[in-house]
A = this chain, B = another copy of it.
């Protein structure tokens, strides 16, 4: 996580030490494992060391909504900071490793490291902007644009921690998961992928996705990369 935060601001030794405390505990996850469920008592946040995970909620009609996909360097559980119970479920997609830390450790950061606090605040704000983008795409766009938005979002996210990645990446989600993330059935996801491949927008090779026509993909879902830059101009001095 420190590596990811360094991307945005310089971090002093003292700050580094405070952040290190958040990653002192480790917990490995196996593919498909349920880490916590909505309604569980919520004392911890999690930093992702590696692996893919997602949060989801069940819908009253039996459906399922995949809220957000997480990768190495992400912090899981910010929205739940406001409540003493979890609001969503967390599931590991692949093998991975998490660092749980109690909410209460944040108080030290808030008290002693105003720059880190501001940065975390900003990251939370960005999460909200990303969620609005998701709402835009998943509730109001045609299937092709929804898929495009999901793929571009994952790609932009993965590029931060893996800059020489190119336009190709492994996608460990099945089509039902994808459908639950963008509000389609697995059937429609399948048909949509086929159409996009036929159009020359993407390719699928060995369970990896290749984004062939990035420009057209970005155009059709009005994509904004929320990861590239953040406004740190208002931050206090350290």
Contact = CB atoms under 8 A, between A and B. Distances in A.
Interface of A: 42, 57, 59-61, 63, 65, 67, 78-84, 87-88, 102-104, 106-108, 110-111, 114, 117-118, 120-129, 131-132, 134-136, 138-142, 145, 183, 220-222, 224, 226, 229-231, 233-236
Most chain B CB within a 10 A radius of its CB, from A67, A126, A135: A135
A136 B79 contact: no
A235 to B, nearest CB: 6
Most chain B CB within a 10 A radius of its CB, from A110, A183, A226: A110
A81 B131 contact: no
Contacts of A102: 234
B129 A131 contact: no
Most chain B CB within a 10 A radius of its CB, from A60, A67, A233: A60
A135 B135 contact: yes
B136 A134 contact: no
Most chain B CB within a 10 A radius of its CB, from A61, A88, A140, A236: A140
A60 B141 contact: yes
A233 to B, nearest CB: 7
B117 A83 contact: no
Given A131-B135, A234-B107, A125 B81 contact: yes
B231 A82 contact: yes
Contacts of A236: 107-108, 110-111
A88 B83 CA distance: 27
A138 to B, nearest CB: 5
Contact of A82 (B87, B103, B107, B126): B126
B124 A125 contact: yes
A135 B182 CA distance: 10
A84 to B, nearest CB: 4
Contacts of A83: 126, 129, 226, 229-231
**A-B CB proximity, top 8 nearest:** A139-B139, A82-B126, A107-B236, A79-B128, A81-B125, A103-B234, A82-B125, A84-B231
